[in-house]
Amino acid sequence: MHTWLFETIRVSDRIKPTTFEKYEGLYRNYVKDSSLYSIKLSELKALQVQRYYNGL
């Protein structure tokens, strides 16, 4: 997500600055230091997401 957010979304001229700020805040507050951060998207399972969500 970090790569997508900072190398694709941030430099896109199709995304408003406020949208980027919202995405960046969600990333910083909920993804960056979470147990899900190190899991590749192709390996992410629904149960892992549910456990993370339950912990919130």
> Quick one: pLDDT band at residue 50, thresholds 50, 70, 90?
very high
Supply the pTM of this predicted model: 0.73
Domain ranges of the chain: 2-55
CA–CA distance, 43 with 55 (Å, rounded to integer): 20
- pLDDT at res. 41: 83
> Quick one: pLDDT band at residue 55, thresholds 50, 70, 90?
very high
CA–CA distance, 17 with 49 (Å, rounded to integer): 28
pLDDT tens by residue, 1-46: 889 899 999 999 999 999 999 999 999 999 999 999 999 889 999 9
On the 0-12 / 13-18 / 19+ scale of CB atoms within 10 A, 16 is exposed
